[in-house]
Amino acid sequence: MDATYQSHGVRFRYPGEWELAEHQEDDQVSITVSSPATAFWMLSLFASRPEPADVVQTVLAAFREEYEEIDDYRSAARIEKRPTVARDIDFVCLDRLNIAGVRAFRTRTFTALVLYQLTEVERDEIEPILEQITRSLSCRIASPKDEPANDE
């Protein structure tokens, strides 16, 4: 993990050879880092602060609409020691098993959604990297003195 993203009140580390893209629309900003192969990790921040459970259900509905074969499982994943609404998803696309992780939580300033996806073939090599990116995620807001402060 030799590259760092820091903006919009969040910070995370990611592999420098991965491509980073940022997209902003209305009250949502999404930051995506993509591996040289097919895996990606995405963080979406919603300023309107929707319920994390609603965000996760919307993602699950999109997966179910897109893919015929899908299984999802509850996850006890935590981000920054925060409880999350989390699901792990297995789905088939182009005759390949794919894996996705969906985690959502709310802070004082936004609701965050982490979504990562990879193929079964990439699992051993890439899943630990996606988990490291997630573990490195830090959510901060500016204090009255414009210094970073934990957003608890």
CATH code assigned at 112: 3.40.1000.10
The answer to whether the beta carbons of residues 129 and 109 sit under 8 Å apart is no
Give a yes or no: residue 123 inside a domain. yes
Give a yes or no: residue 137 inside a domain. yes
Give a yes or no: residue 152 inside a domain. no
Which amino acid, one-letter code, is at 56? V
Task: Indicate the pTM of the whole model.
Answer: 0.86
Give a yes or no: residue 125 inside a domain. yes
Tokens of 119: 């193929």
Given this model, what pLDDT does residue 80 score? Answer: 85
Distance CA 12, CA 139 (A): 9
Residues 102-135 pLDDT 10s: 999 999 999 999 999 998 888 888 999 999 999 9
Domain limits for position 93? 3-144
| 77 CB-side CA count, 13 A | 21
Give a yes or no: residue 8 inside a domain. yes
Give a yes or no: residue 150 inside a domain. no
Mean pLDDT of 91-100: 86
Residues 38-54 pLDDT 10s: 899 999 999 999 999 99
| Total number of domains constituting the chain | 1
Given this model, what pLDDT does residue 141 score? Answer: 56
Distance CA 128, CA 116 (A): 12
